[in-house]
Chains A and B, each alone.
Chain A
Amino acid sequence: MLRWAGDQEGGAPFVEADPSRPDQMVGFDVEIADLFARSVGRTPEFVNVDFRLIDQSVARDDADIGLSGIEDTPARRTTLAVTIPYYEFREVLSVRDADASRFRTLADLRGKRVATLGGTIAYEILLRAERDHGLSALSYDDDVHPYSDLLIGRVDAVLLDNVLAERRQRAMPGFTIQPQTVAVGHYVGVLSAQNGPLRDTLNETLRRAMRDGTLQRIFTKWRVWNEDQPKLHARLLAGEPVEPVTGLDTSVSVATMTKWEAAKRYFPSLLRASVVTIVLSCLSMALAVAIGVMIATGRVYGAPPMRAALLGYVELMRGTPILLQLFVLYYGLAAAIRLPAFGAALLGLALNYAAYESEIYRAALEAIPLGQLEAARTLGLSERQVLRLVRGPQAFRLALAPMTNDFVALLKDSSLVSVLTVLELTKETQIFATNLGSWVLPGSLCAALYLAMSLPLAALARRLERQWKSPAV
């Protein structure tokens, strides 16, 4: 058996579920995997792995080889056993048809938002262009939404390889692929560092397939064969070295740094991402508390139809995944309301957590003894004043501990908003880990930063609770 890792979400022409038989994989990477398996006398077995985690998956031996349009980078060559390249791609810029004449290169995009797939050479190129050309780079988790957001105007350009760009252009017209090549790169298969001998065997298989036209047949079938490929094949068959590609200066590749250098280099961006996380969490929580208070008040004091409607809202928000809600809010509603990514993230978290907060407040309001309310009423306070001056403040004291709990949970759930291109702490850590080829150091730093945010908050809540419980005099 030859276990090979790929990402179905990457889709055609790499790997996708056969539309007519969804349990079968099709794509040029599938055919190359078949070719590899046959050459070593094994049967191919597909392992579905998230695109950004294929390296780690191979390194921990979940699969023998990773194949899914994986780019040949210096970092991969340092940490993994990498096959010879089997396909040459060009990084190309896509812009809306109307902008085709003004945005030709990255230099034309000063102050504009440019999208790409995270964890790719294209993203590294954009990060460098942020410094060099003053554009703003956005990392997406997939290669479809950059183009849909380009068409609706959320971003002004997309940088991705020509295979992805051309595929997308066939499915959604309305954008132009600029002819100028921004960078050239190659797809390779990746194996764990210990798997050198297997890699050498597979390299021989690739060379044979280049010579006998098998590769050409596969790529032609998937409509990605072009004049670049024979040149690449000729160089490889002649034994010429093909250099890996990076979007950053090769002198600063993290994979070749010591751990401390890497940490020092990445720490500022992790800190920046922590600021995004804490600001987003605080604003979302504030909004969730405000909405939650309104829902709880409506559920305790409202007329039956209002109570039923609010209960429906609470059950809907609690009963469906927050990730789904974020997708619907950002992408699903894009045709009607075009929320900016940070706004959608803030609103999505707030609307979801408001449901949980409202349940805490409702239970706390209902826990206040009737005697307290009657005493307030006999003093002549209106119902509104009873709520504001007696019931609410006492309920808040009861709600504090579960609220603190929820805030810490929200702090961590805020990592989900990276699917809306918001670059927060977990996402930044993932980028760091991908570039470094290890999770140990980035994971530890990330955990330390989350704790640095949540522990003071928990301490503050404990102090407030103590203050309310201890004698006042």
Chain B
Amino acid sequence: MSDDLVLRAEGVELRRGARVILAGVSCDVRRGELVALMGPSGSGKTTMLRAIAGLEPFQAGWIAVDGVALAGGGPPSRATLRDLRRKVGMVFQFHCLFEHLTAIQNVCLAPVHAHRVDARTANARGLELLRSFGVEHRADALPRQLSGGEAQRVAIARALAVDPPVLLMDEPTASLDPLRRTELGELLRQLIGQGRTLVAATHDEEFAREFATRIMRFREGLIIAD
């Protein structure tokens, strides 16, 4: 595997009962790309993101993220998942911020508990992240007090707090107005500029054209255009 290929998938097949969701997906993604996965609802793009994040076991094929490989055929081992999660962050469509924690607590939870960073350092880095996304002033707000755009920025900060090389995003523009959408695009550009790799499932053709470095089109569980 070339050093540059940070994400590779080969022949990924995923079925739920008789329904085929992914019918043998293969792709390579280089470091620093912003890949938009596009396609109609039910075409498999969100499932592909979830498979990369280790949330969906698949039946055949393999996925490798920065040297950590998931093989189809059974659920991955606990050790594989632990390694994988240092490589991949995920931002969910509905953000899924922890409802009982403030924004800064959301950001610091994983560094402190999964990565054993001391609380003070984690807090300082978390505030720095929130500041870089322009939501530092909302650090002590609970998720339900944040606007859609604020919640999304906090969710991105939370995913980046453990510094994964690959960031997956599901429908990042779904809850944003045009101005916020442009701001998000600029922010994602900054991230790939820092060498991070972004893969986003989206319906937003305009957004994808403007900001993505590459577009993969899904239909019926296959990539039909790249």
Contact = CB atoms under 8 A, between A and B. Distances in A.
B130 interface: no
Nearest to A370: B96
Interface stretch (A223-231, A263-271, A375-383): A375-383
A381 B145 CA distance: 25
Interface string A379-399: 111100100011001100100
A369 B82 CA distance: 22
Contacts of B113: 381, 385, 389
A385 B96 CA distance: 17
A378 B89 contact: yes
- Which interface residue of B88, B92, B102 has the most chain A CB atoms within 10 A? B92
A374 interface: yes
Name A's interface SS.
Answer: helix
Interface string A452-473: 0000000000000000100111
Given A471-B142, A471-B145, A473-B145, A379 B162 contact: yes
A418 to B, nearest CB: 41
What is the size category of the interface that chain A forms with chain B? 20 to 34
B115 interface: yes
Contact of A371 (B92, B140, B159): B92
B96 A381 contact: no
A385 B109 CA distance: 10
Given A371-B96, A471-B145, A379 B159 contact: yes
A379 B158 contact: yes
Interface string B47-65: 0000001110000000000
A374 B88 CA distance: 13
B156 interface: no
Given A472-B141, A473-B140, A378 B114 contact: no
A372 interface: yes
A380 B92 contact: no
Nearest to A375: B96
A372 B90 CA distance: 12
A372 B143 CA distance: 12
Contacts of A371: 92, 94, 96
B162 A390 contact: no
Contacts of B54: 377-378
B206 interface: no
What is the size category of the interface that chain B forms with chain A? 20 to 34
B92 A394 contact: no
B100 interface: yes
Interface in B111-163: 113-115, 140-142, 145, 158-159, 162
Contact of B109 (A377, A378, A381): A381
Contacts of A385: 113-114
A378 B53 contact: yes
A468 B143 CA distance: 12
Nearest to A396: B100
Nearest to B88: A378
B156 to A, nearest CB: 12
A426 B100 CA distance: 41
Nearest to B89: A378
Contacts of B142: 471-472
Given A380-B82, A381-B114, A389-B113, A394 B100 contact: yes
- Which interface residue of A375, A381, A390, A393 has the most chain B CB atoms within 10 A? A375
B8 interface: no
Interface in A326-383: 369, 371-372, 374-382
B127 to A, nearest CB: 15
Nearest to B110: A379
B85 interface: yes
Contacts of A378: 53-55, 85, 88-90, 159
A180 B200 CA distance: 94
Given A378-B89, A385-B113, A473 B141 contact: yes
Interface of A: 369, 371-372, 374-382, 385, 389-390, 393-394, 397, 468, 471-473
Given A379-B158, A472-B142, 19 more contacts: A371-B96, A375-B90, A375-B92, A375-B96, A375-B98, A377-B81, A377-B85, A378-B53, A378-B54, A378-B85, A379-B109, A379-B114, A380-B115, A382-B114, A397-B100, A468-B100, A472-B102, A472-B140, A473-B141
Interface of B: 53-55, 81-82, 85-86, 88-90, 92, 94, 96-100, 102, 109-110, 113-115, 140-142, 145, 158-159, 162
28 contacts: A369-B96, A371-B94, A374-B55, A374-B90, A375-B90, A375-B92, A377-B81, A378-B53, A378-B88, A378-B89, A378-B159, A379-B85, A379-B110, A380-B82, A380-B86, A380-B114, A380-B162, A381-B114, A382-B114, A390-B98, A390-B100, A390-B109, A394-B99, A394-B100, A471-B141, A471-B145, A472-B102, A472-B142
